[in-house]
Amino acid sequence: MELLTTQVAIIGAGPAGLLLGQLLYKAGIEHIIIEQRSAEYVASRIRAGILEQVSVDLLKQAGVDQHLKEKGLPHSGIEILTNGQKHRVDLSALTGGKQVTVYGQTEVTKDLMMAREAAQLKSFYEAQNVQVSDFYQTPKVHFEYQGKSIQIECDFIAGCDGYHGICRASVPQDKIKTYEKVYPFGWLGVLADVPPVADELIYVQSERGFALCSMRSETRSRYYLQVPLNDRVEDWSDERFWEELKSRLDAESQKKLVTGPSIEKSIAPLRSFVTEPMRFGKLFLAGDAAHIVPPTGAKGLNLAASDIAYLSSALIEYYVEGSDQGIQEYSEKCLQRVWKAERFSWWMTHLLHRFEIESEFEHKIKQAELSYILGSTAGKTTLAENYVGLPIHA
């Protein structure tokens, strides 16, 4: 068995793990990343598309904002379509000038991977049987790599291994509490090289269900449809997808919609999930390993980034200033922000989707709520404030 030592072992090379690695490297803290999939697989996953300013700032701090500055599309508003009418939520005007940036998670991941390669930082991709142990005393990570058995001894383990990872699963049952809500539908996502239907994102509430018109660039669109949970991708030809999307849009957007062959199509179930606490001795959970939000509020990737903001500064404080205050406070600080993003994501999901089980009364109340929100500056402000992202050190 090969024995290695490092300061921080990071499990998972998604955006959370890669961003943490880059911030630690910048601060001169030694770390190793262990990832179970191949680099190509990780780089090709199509997921989130909206970055809050907090996430953009963090990527800048990590020194990986070159492409983001060139290719990211700043957006100062979103549209909400209900009852065949579009209503603009002017994010900037309602939040004192804040905006969001359209920049795909795939690009964030690639930028971070390139920076990592340039700095020749140590990563093990395609690691098998990854296990973490002894994290209340002397943390260790074990795995197999290219037929060899490897053990890493470290000061801390960062569990950035997503919802299905092994870090959360390694915590003793009596030390962890989880909260969960599963929604009775999924999102069918399509990526296509066609110009977006509008300059801004359109969140669609319709009698046929939710839809979202998003984008990756001026020539690449990302569209989503609310679909029943048991639908399969094979049930949805491109033709059926475009027809259904069109039927949920307003007359102007129907005319403007440009269709074309899909280059990716997938169905994701919607879930709300929170783990408490987020630190177990010297094991930290961050990102999807600790919490999941339904994508309606565009918060998943941004929450992963804010966890990493807290975790990187806690570790820097520990190694550079010799203080463990940030480590002690990590879980509480993260969870305060996590629960607010959970609430917002749940609320947006509830407000904009069609629930088969809701009564006619509940449906009417929901329409009234949406109508109130969109007709009131106070209502729109609460939406805008949450959408652009709550402050990180509040």
Burial class (CB in 10 A: 0-12, 13-18, 19+), 130: buried
Q: Is 387 a catalytic residue?
A: yes
Q: What share of the chain is helix, strand, coil (3-state, %, to 5)?
A: 40, 30, 30
- Beta strands (DSSP E) in 16-161 are 31-34, 50-51, 73-75, 78-82, 85-89, 100-102, 123-124, 128-133, 140-145, 148-159
When CB distances are held under 5 to 8 angstroms depending on the partner's kind, the choice from ligand PHB, ligand RFL, none that residue 197 binds is none
Query: How many other C-beta atoms can be found within 10 angstroms of the C-beta atom of residue 88?
Result: 14
Residues in the chain, overall count: 394
Structure tokens at 46: 């199509």
Binding footprint of ligand RFL on the chain (CB under 6 A) = 11-17, 34-37, 42, 47-49, 105, 127, 130, 160-166, 268, 287-288, 295, 298-301, 304
When CB distances are held under 5 to 8 angstroms depending on the partner's kind, the choice from ligand RFL, ligand PHB, none that residue 130 binds is ligand RFL
Give least dist CB 290 to ligand PHB, A: 20
Give whichever of 58 and 127 is closer to ligand RFL, judged by the CB atom: 127
Which of the following is catalytic: 15, 31, 75, 310?
Answer: 75
Helices 300-321, 15-26: inter-axial angle, 10-degree rounding: 30
- What's the CA gap between 75 and 68, in Å, rounded? 14
Give least dist CB 100 to ligand PHB, A: 9
How many helices (H) and strands (E) in the chain?
12, 19
State the residue for tokens 């110009």: 195
Give least dist CB 225 to ligand RFL, A: 13
Give whichever of 77 and 297 is closer to ligand RFL, judged by the CB atom: 297
Give least dist CB 213 to ligand RFL, A: 13
Give whichever of 171 and 292 is closer to ligand PHB, judged by the CB atom: 292
Give least dist CB 293 to ligand PHB, A: 10
Which of the following is catalytic: 291, 299, 333, 380?
Answer: 299
Would you call the peptide bond into 391 cis, given omega within 30 degrees of 0 as the criterion? no
Looking at 45-198, list the stretches that DSSP marks H as alpha helix, in order from N- to C-terminal side. 53-61, 66-71, 91-94, 105-118
Give whichever of 9 and 351 is closer to ligand PHB, judged by the CB atom: 351
Give least dist CB 291 to ligand RFL, A: 8
Give whichever of 26 and 45 is closer to ligand RFL, judged by the CB atom: 45
Which of the following is catalytic: 295, 330, 333, 380?
Answer: 295
166 and 11 in contact (C-beta within 8 Å)?
A: yes
Give whichever of 220 and 371 is closer to ligand RFL, judged by the CB atom: 220
Which of the following is catalytic: 183, 203, 310, 330?
Answer: 203
When CB distances are held under 5 to 8 angstroms depending on the partner's kind, the choice from ligand RFL, ligand PHB, none that residue 296 binds is ligand PHB
State the residue for tokens 């060899």: 148
When CB distances are held under 5 to 8 angstroms depending on the partner's kind, the choice from ligand PHB, ligand RFL, none that residue 51 binds is none
Q: Is 203 a catalytic residue?
A: yes
Binding footprint of ligand PHB on the chain (CB under 6 A) = 48-50, 201, 212, 214, 222, 295-296, 298
- What's the CA gap between 352 and 203, in Å, rounded? 8
Q: Which residues form the catalytic set?
A: 75, 203, 295, 299, 387
